[in-house]
Amino acid sequence: MSILVLEAVTRTHGSGDGQVEALKHLSLTVAPGELVAVMGPSGSGKSTLLHLAGGLDQPTSGRVLVEGTELGNLSRKALAQLRRRWIGYVFQDFNLIPALTAAENVALPRELDGVPARKARKEAVAALAEVGVPELADRFPDDMSGGQQQRIAIARALVGERRLVLADEPTGALDSTTGEAVMALLRARVDAGAAGVLVTHDARHAAWANRVVFLRDGRVVDESVYRAPEDVLAP
Amino acid sequence: MSVRNGLLALLAERPRYGYELRGEFEARTGTTWPLNVGQVYTTLSRLERDGCVTASDAGESGQQYYEITAEGRAEVTAWFTTPVRREARPRDELAIKLALAVGNQDVDIAAVVQAQRTDSLRALQDYTRLKAQAGPEDLAWLLVLDAMVFQTEAEVRWLDHCESRVVQGRRPVVRPTPVEDVERAR
């Protein structure tokens, strides 16, 4: 089953003459093990897509389903719970809480979700091991490099049962090799069974995705899908 | 790219004399690819043989006037809509293709850019997957792959840039300063 489904989603801002269609009848599904990159010029609808997928915004028409649940039918409380439980975010500026250690940052969404502190901590430590930085568990964000902070953010995005990671320019604040290591990590976590949507301007990072979707004026204009590996580098 | 594609693209705009084609081609591409007269006429006679152009009888001036046929037009369309292959790029075919597309009102530049970008992104995905499969012991191989990745990325960024220029409005054809003049001015 697809983890994320966008079905004929349209999002209109404003009304009358000032009406802007940020997304027009857009459909997209993301299955476990799949990373989809979304590219397009500023104002093409990339951020709107990510907000809708994350339940931070509602479509004007069409449906958004996460893990089979339609977001539009949920109460505010139920939506907040679903977001905490299933959806992880990764931002350009990491968004870790400076007063909490790495493990506490990762455990926080689980604790908010009612998981007992001890279990949440255990899950957090496991998630940190999965992103290759178990030794950072008790460090504070200020004592870490940008690349390390982004690893923590990816651990937080995929802690516990969370399987959908929405990443908004996750490599924007990182140098090229660190950015690449973060993309390799995101790819590996997705390969391990998560689903990811990545918004980026950077073709080099979008290339880690299974599919690259090009948006223009709220519509998908084109898509690039992996070819069979034997065709690679063929003359 | 062949001279053939370039000349046909110019003839798709309007019929022209042979000598005129050479000047127009060089002016439009900033003489990044100088042609000699022989090349132009050899190519034109091949195009005529293949049914892509028709030559009118030499007039009093002794100049032949070339006009594109439906077949020739189909070849131009195919050239504009097919992404440039990465493996075979003598000169910068892509830059020349876009330079010629600007002067042709029938060509959707945004579509040319997008077809190329999708192709480039697919190549980037391929290289990236090869990188992901390579171990750290394959350093030399990784460096080679990186070179291809960064070249392709540069191309995609340039295409993004071209697109935003096109969105800003299709401008009348501006003749670029020939490369030699730029160099001479230094």
Report the amino acid identity of residue A23: L
Percentage, residues of chain A above pLDDT 70: 96
A191 touches chain B (CB under 8 A): no
| pLDDT at B152 exceeding the cut of 50 | yes
Name the closest residue on chain B to residue A232, using Cα atoms. B126
B172 pLDDT higher than 70: no
Tokens of A184: 């390799």
With contacts defined as CB-CB under 8 Å, which chain A residues touch B125? 207-209, 212, 224, 226-227
With an 8 Å Cβ cutoff, is B92 touching chain A? no
B163–chain A Cβ distance below 8 A for any pair: yes
Spatial distance between the Cα atoms of A183 and A198, rounded to a whole number of angstroms? 10
- Beta carbons of A160 and A9 less than 8 angstroms apart: no
Strands of the sheet with A219-225, listed across from one edge: A87-91, A164-168, A195-199, A35-39, A211-216, A219-225
* Structure-token pair, residue A28: 């997209």
Flag if B129 and A232 touch (Cβ within 8 Å). yes
Give the separation between CA B28 and CA A115, rounded to whole angstroms: 67
A220 touches chain B (CB under 8 A): no
Tell me how close the Cα of B174 comes to any Cα of chain A, in angstroms. 25
User: Is B118 close to A232, i.e. CB distance below 8 A?
Assistant: no
* Mean pLDDT, rounded, of chain A: 90
Q: CA A183 to CA B124: how far, in whole Å?
A: 14
Residue-range domains of chain A with CATH: 4-230 (3.40.50.300)
- In CATH, what class is B1-81? mainly alpha
- pLDDT higher than threshold 80 for residue B2: no
User: Which tokens belong to A84?
Assistant: 């905490």
Return d(Cα A3, Cα A65) in angstroms, integer.
8
Residues A10 and A26 sit within 8 Å (Cβ to Cβ): yes
Backbone dihedral region of A132: left (phi > 0), alpha (psi from -120 to 50 degrees) or beta? Answer: left
Q: Which residues of A touch B160 (CB under 8 A)?
A: 41, 201
Query: Looking at the predicted complex, does its ipTM rise above 0.90?
Result: no
Structural tokens at position A9: 């989603």
Residue B94: band (very low, low, confident or very high) from pLDDT cuts 50, 70, 90: confident
In angstroms, the CA A223 to CA B117 distance is: 10
What integer best gives the mean pLDDT of chain B? 82
pLDDT of residue A234 exceeding 50: no
Q: Give the count of Cβ contacts less than 8 A between chain A and B.
A: 67
Instruction: Give the model confidence (pLDDT) of A82-136 as tens digits.
Output: 998 899 999 988 899 999 999 999 999 999 989 999 999 999 999 999 899 999 9
* Chain A: closest CA distance from residue B154 (Å): 9
> Angle at CA B173, nearest 5°, toward B168 and B178?
115
Cβ contact, residue pair A207, B150, below 8 Å: no
pLDDT classification of A235: cutoffs 50, 70, 90: very low
Q: Which of B14, B54, B15, B31 is nearest to B175 (CA)?
A: B31
Q: What angle do CA B104, B109, B113 make, to 5 degrees?
A: 145
Give A215's strand partners.
A220
Chain B residue closest in CA terms to A215 = B114
* Whether A143 contacts chain B with CB within 8 A: no
**Chain B environment of A221 (Cβ under 8 Å):** 114
Tell me which of A46, A219, A224, A225 to substitute to probe the interface with B (most B C-beta atoms closer than 10 Å): A224
What are the tens digits of pLDDT across the range A122-170?
999 999 998 999 999 999 999 999 999 999 999 999 898 889 999 999 9
Residue A91 CA to residue A57 CA, distance in Å, equals: 17
Report residue B54: phi and psi, to 5°.
-120, 140
Residue B36 contacts A, CB cutoff 8 Å: no
Q: Which of A184, A221, A232 sits opposite B126 (nearest CB)?
A: A232
Nearest one of A222, B114, B10, A139 to A211, comparing CA atoms: A222
